Every structure is written in C-alpha cells, then in structure tokens.
Amino acid sequence: MNKDTFTFTNNRTGEKYEFDIIDATRGPSVVDISSFYKQTGMFTFDVGYTSTASCTSYITFIDGEKGELRYRGHEIEDLAENHSYLETCYLLLNGKLPTEEELLDFDLELRNRSFIDENLRHLIAAFPDSAHPMSILSSGVSALSSFYYEHLNIDDEAEYQEMARRIIAKIPTLAAFAYRKSLGIPFIYPDVDKSFTENFLYMLRAYPGGKLKRTSEGREEIKKIEVEALDAIFTLHADHEQNASTTTVRNVASTGAHPYVAISAGISALWGRAHGGANESVIAQLEMIGEVENVDAYIARAKDHDDDFRLMGFGHRVYKNFDPRARELKKLQDQLKDELNLDSKLMDIAHKIEEIALNDEYFIERKLYPNIDFYSGVILTALKLERPMFTPIFVIGRTVGWITQLMEFKTDPASKIARPRQLYLGK
Ligand code: ACO
C-alpha cells in the first residue's frame, strides 16, 4: 500500500493534519479519514456520499467517466454476449467463471432449490390483488428469514454459500407468484426441467397444468430468443458496486440482522423511481409523451429549472458517459426489433428523445446519458412482461450482487456497523 499522505489545513487555527492516501488497484485513490474526528474534532460533510468510499471491495469495478463496468475483472460486454446469467452468478459468488462440471452442479442445485414453502405461498395469497409485486416480493423475502433462520455464522463458508444459492434460486419463484397474485390468477410451480430463465418465463405465462396459452395457430411457446434476451438482462443487472440498494443491504447486514432481511431492505430501496423503479417510469413517460411530435415540449420541460419533470432513464450518479449496460441493451433492442415486434411507436419516441438529448447543450454539459432503464422497458414490453414486473426483473438479476456484497461485508474484518454523523442545525 502507498504511504503517501494528504494534508488538511484548518485555516481558523493554522493546524495541519495528515491522512494516509490508499491507492485502488483501479480507479481513484482514497484519503483515509477514519481518524478525522479523533484528530480534528470535526466531521466531514458529504450529503448523498458523492465523494465517500464506505468500504473496500473486490467484486465490481465501474469507471463512470469512460463508461466501463467489470465484474471480478471481466468486462460486462463479454459476460452479456458470451456467458449465461448463471455463469455470471457463479463468477460473482466465487471470483471465477465455473468449469462445465461446476456450472452443471450449480444449475442443478438452483433448479432443485427453486420451490418455496407452502406457508410462504399462503402468505403471498393473503395479499390484496391490487398489491404491487415489489411490495409482495420485499415482504416475501423478509418472510424467508422465518423459514431459514439459521445461516448467521459467517465463519462457516459452506453455510453462507448455501444461504446465497437458496435466495438466488427462490427469487424468480417469489417474483412470479407476486405477479400472478397481482393478476388474481393461480400460481404455477417451478419446473425443474427448465433452465433458470426459461423457468421464470414459464412461471409467469403457463396455465395451471403447465401448458402455455392456446391460440388459433396452436400453442404458444417460450422462444429461445426471449430466454436469451432475458438472461442477458439479468446479467446486465447482476451487480453495480455500492449503489443505493447495495449500500442498504450492507447497512442492514452491519447490525447483524438476518441476510434475507437485509436483501428485503435492498428490494425496498430499489423500488424507488430514482433507482430501479425508473424502468417502470420510463415506459409510463414514453406513453405519456404519446407522439414523436411531443418530444420537444417534454425536453424543454426537463431543462426548465422551475419544472420538476425529469427525463426518466437519463442521468446517473456514477456514469458521466454512456452507461455500458445501456449500450448492450441498445444492441439487444436492435437485434430483437423484428423478431419480437417491439412496439415501434414507443421506440420511435425513445429514439427521438435519445437523438435530441445526446446533442443538446443542457444534457451534454451535465453529462446526462441514457442509463440501463432507458432501454430495458421497451425490451421487457416485447417479452410480454407487464410494467409492474420491470423492477422485480431487476431484483432477480441483482440478488446475486446483493448477496455477494453482503458476504464480502461479513467476511471483512474491518467492517463496522454503519453509523454516519450529522451537521446539527436545529434548536
Ligand atoms: N432529466 C433532466 N435533468 C436532469 C436529469 C434528468 N433525468 N438528471 C439529472 N438532471 C440535472 C439536474 O437537474 C441537475 O441540474 P442542475 O445542475 O442544473 O441543477 C444535474 O442534472 C445533476 O443532477 P443531480 O440530481 O444532482 O444528479 P444525481 O447524481 O444526484 O442524480 C439520478 C442521478 C438520480 C439518476 C438523476 O439523474 C435522475 O433523477 N435521473 C432520472 C431517474 C433515473 O433514470 N434513474 C435511474 C438511475 S440508473 C439505476 O438506478 C439503475
């Protein structure tokens, strides 16, 4: 580690304080201010943690200026185009891609663990039909902690890995049940003969008895291209270092709470429209804009400081360049356009927004580029997924990231309970 230091001068007293600079393997170095209060009697102030690193991590790297994202050193483009979501899960959890045999074992284990306890099914059934699937999902995952109360001993690696694989396996089932509950239709149990992603689409679409919808042309089927597209979407969402929901998971875990309760809190954090809820808002906004001719007026609103209207799917705290996940989804959208009959009107409006915003001084100056949510909604619509399911899809992809980050937190001897301070301005 580098031993360089950073000196702060208090201009009120002339006193100087030195803090270590720690270099990252990639990305910005940090100034270790953990002894700042002890040395200076003052806190640092950073609303929204825009300049604050809260942990060390070996999992995911983002270069927001370049628009680069890597999981365990692997470029996101390579993972999305050449590897499956399950391989990506294995990579995140174990730090390396699986061999063929390891992948087979991992896949089988997830298939066999995909069922949920019947009592949990009853719990989901008790929600009102009008419940949003995200609300059912966050409650269902919290309730999982009652069914699996063990796994709190982080010293037992095998136990923690089992806890992680269990939640990854059950999340699609919970999400599909939550969706079917919101429609008031019977639950479909997992089919162990189907792959992770195909099984999820099956649990959403099948009729009781396991058959898909019958049309005048015959029975509908789940197309290979649909499975591949959704699998890539899961991969693109699998982790994103210390975002709001992951930080929530780490903070809840820092108190010693059950891992599934921490994941449930992450799901709640993700639901907000400034975070994962944006994919639902993007489609709602495109529909509200309605016609290509209306785009200019909405762009003007987005630029008006007296109007709180924001272009959903634009801007990102970290990316000050094209979000690489968005670039992958844009490619995917172009590939799927004809095969899946993507709604061309929504796409036309989206293209127009993209074209104007990428050339407009307001967006250029503020480095506002399309983010992952700008494109995912149009693709998910083409996969016949209803809007309230967009954020649950994000949850399915992200669960592996949350649980991997949680395990990293638990095994890091430097971890502490999260307890920020404040600048008190009250009476
Ligand atoms: N439309 C119009 N203006 C915007 C937008 C937008 N989508 N996003 C940011 N701006 C403007 C702000 O008004 C501000 O302008 P100002 O400097 O003149 O006051 C400037 O850009 C900086 O914006 P902040 O809100 O300070 O940026 P921050 O990093 O805090 O917010 C965020 C990032 C929340 C993603 C924001 O860009 C946003 O609200 N985007 C729309 C929602 C969205 O797409 N969220 C998904 C994020 S990706 C994800 O979670 C998977």
* Total-model pTM: 0.92
Confidence at residue 357, expressed as pLDDT on a 0 to 100 scale: 87
Catalytically active residues are 316, 373
Helix (H, G, I), strand (E, B), or coil: what is residue 221? coil
Ligand 1 midpoint to CA 118 (Å): 42
Ligand 1 midpoint to CA 316 (Å): 6
> Position 83: which residue type?
H
Confidence at residue 240, expressed as pLDDT on a 0 to 100 scale: 96
Q: What are phi and psi of 22, to 5 degrees?
A: -115, 130
Ligand 1 midpoint to CA 312 (Å): 9
Contact at 8 Å (CB) between 59 and 405?
yes
The best mutation among 317, 319, 372 to test binding of ligand 1, ranked by most ligand atoms within 8 Å of the C-beta, falls on 317
Confidence at residue 335, expressed as pLDDT on a 0 to 100 scale: 85
The best mutation among 368, 369, 372, 390 to test binding of ligand 1, ranked by most ligand atoms within 8 Å of the C-beta, falls on 368
How far apart, in whole angstroms, are the C-alpha atoms of residue 228 and residue 377? 16
Q: What are phi and psi of 71, to 5 degrees?
A: -105, 125
How far apart, in whole angstroms, are the C-alpha atoms of residue 55 and residue 24? 12
Per-residue pLDDT of the chain (427 residues; tens, 9 = 90+): 447 999 999 999 999 999 999 999 999 999 999 999 999 999 999 999 999 999 999 999 999 999 999 999 999 999 999 999 999 999 999 999 999 999 999 999 999 999 999 999 999 999 998 999 999 999 999 999 999 986 567 778 888 899 999 999 999 999 999 999 988 899 999 999 999 999 999 999 999 988 898 888 888 889 999 999 999 999 999 999 999 999 999 999 999 999 999 999 999 999 998 888 888 889 999 999 999 999 999 999 999 999 999 999 999 988 988 899 999 998 988 888 778 766 678 888 998 999 998 899 999 999 999 988 898 888 898 888 989 999 999 999 999 999 999 999 999 999 999 999 999 999 9
Burial class of 412 by CB neighbour count within 10 A (0 to 12, 13 to 18, 19+): middle
Confidence at residue 157, expressed as pLDDT on a 0 to 100 scale: 85
Give the residue whose CA is nearest to atom 41 of ligand 1.
312
Ligand 1 midpoint to CA 3 (Å): 37
Confidence at residue 343, expressed as pLDDT on a 0 to 100 scale: 66
Pocket of ligand 1 (CB under 6 A): 274-276, 278, 302, 310-317, 366, 368, 371-373
Query: What is the rounded radius of gyration, in angstroms, for the C-alpha atoms of the chain?
Result: 23
- Rounded to the nearest 5 degrees, what angle is found at the Cα of 369, between the Cα atoms of 328 and 57? 70
Confidence at residue 280, expressed as pLDDT on a 0 to 100 scale: 85
Give the residue whose CA is nearest to atom 29 of ligand 1.
317
